[in-house]
Structure 1
Amino acid sequence: MAAALALSSPALANSAMAQGWPDRPVRIIVPFPPGGSNDIIARQLAEALRERLGQPVLVENRAGAGGNVGADSVAKSAPDGLTLLLAAPGPLAINEHLFRAIPFNPQRDFAPVALVATVPIVLMVTKDLAVHSVAELVAMAKRDPGKLAFGSSGNGSTNHLAGELLKAQAGIDIVHVPYRGAAPAMTDLVGGQIQMMFDNMPAALPQVRGGQVRGLAVAGATRAEALPDLPTIAESGVPGFEAEAWFGLVAPAATPAAALTRLQEACGAALADTALRARFAQGGAQAGTRLGADFGRFLVTEREKWGRVVAASGATVN
């Protein structure tokens, strides 16, 4: 009886749960198709978490509606810490500003776990396009308004909004072609069905290095270590241009504190591990350092920033 009463204490119950959790496999939902940067980062993280949680960590792709389908499934899943969402800014910071309505509330329906990685965005063109710089691309777009098409991993993705931002800041008319993920968009870029694309470094790097596409610039404030010869878009004639991708891990909002703490500790250990950091770096990603409430504050600032970008670009999705 005394033991039962003792375990009725919330602190002790949380402690007991933390010691035995997880007792089943953990699922990470990626709200985009396989093959893109989100998927690559998720699978690398899953392997590192498996070692630290002592359970299989499975990656499941649930694509659709710019990441909203997968995010909604996690928001409405059992809040036991066993179903997580690893997402790019779209469903966590952008889509609420871009779509007329989404079926979940990114601020209320998720508990922050970790900022897993930050990733430079690369502007690429098909190798047969007769441009070798951002200035030449902008000039071509101004000569032939509406003739150049840029692909993205879907409406509301960071590579979509990077294109919208370029349209607004460079004063050009280029056509957005949304795909169900970055991988099929890249396939069409390589094949010449679209002329240009912004994509995250882990997926873009092998294509640029292999010569399948031509890298023109990176979208961040500084050059990327993985492609140091590529200038930034800002230094290529579009001053003030800046866009960067990141990937964050969240759980359903009502997940018990003990499970969240365990997840945050496991993520912190994984992201500090030199082996995982090296795998991220090989693909051009940098391991994150924000956990729990710190990541939550980051999400607030990102929602505000991307809200301003969406408003300035005029982009909307029905």
Structure 2
Amino acid sequence: MEEKTFERGRDETYYFDDGDCMFLVDGVLFKLHKAFLNRDPESMFFGMLNIPQPKILDAEPVKLTDDSAEEFRALCWVLYALPDAIHIQATANAEIPKLLKIAKICHKYTLAKIETWALDMLKIQCKPAEGSPGCLAACSEDLLVEIMTRAFDANHIPLRHIIEETWLSRLDAGEISYRTTLTAGEMQGWIKFSTRVYTRLNKKLSGTRLPTANPFSHLDLTDGQLLRLLSGSMLLSNFWSHFRRNLPREDECTDHPWNCLAPWNRLAWSDSSDIWAGLHAAYKAIGTEHRDRCTGLYINQTLRTFSVTLVESFFGPQS
């Protein structure tokens, strides 16, 4: 059988003459060693390379689609890297773009252990430390979204937490747009994060004198985001209004008008832009003598459930 030829180049680094498996990625040929790809029995490569098949020739390599040569090269790097190169990724000289490529391609091919390692290294770079605010403090919006995506792919909770707090801090400082932030949250279905953003926007609206012409243009939201914000704001305002007017009476309460309603009506209520703060202020203001009466019990019960109310105001009931 006549061997086919390719008008494609061999990778300069990861084409080993003694390799025993061949891949064609984005027009580039990689010739690797099965032993390096077979170390994780749960990976897709393990199954791919252990299916009985004819000898792989240069003319007929395994074709990997939807991967870039740079991403596959990053995978090869981590498979063949020596300890000193691996160690550098935990230092200030880490290669963040390479770590992101590794995390992305390892997620696709279920190389979970390497994916977790790459994200652990990213966490080191992202986490604020003494003398360093972390790489997220001044990175571009695109890089922030990319790191967020990789953290969500693997459900890397520690990295997600760092991303959330740093992102919101930069949002408050006006360094990142609300549109980008909410779009990223929507793409990942990150409702808790998005709720915190909408809560900030609701407070921003409350403290801003809006013009009658194009009153919300300064927010630069999509139509869907603006609708969610305004409907959520209305629902929270409605909730707060009814909460303040309706103090339920506990069954065992015998002097409700004097010892419950009277101190309740004397409370100085805040507006609905920060209900959390309003609830805590009211609970503090009633004093210890009313904590076990209708007033304290009602506020305390509302505090316990308000996180659900807040989410449902912007996103509806959650299953």
Looking at secondary structure, tell me which structure has more helix per residue: 2
Looking at secondary structure, tell me which structure has more strand per residue: 1
Higher relative contact order (CA closer than 8 Å, sequence separation 6+): 1
Q: Same fold (TM over 0.5)?
A: no
TM-score range, shorter chain: under 0.3
Structure number with bigger Rg: 2
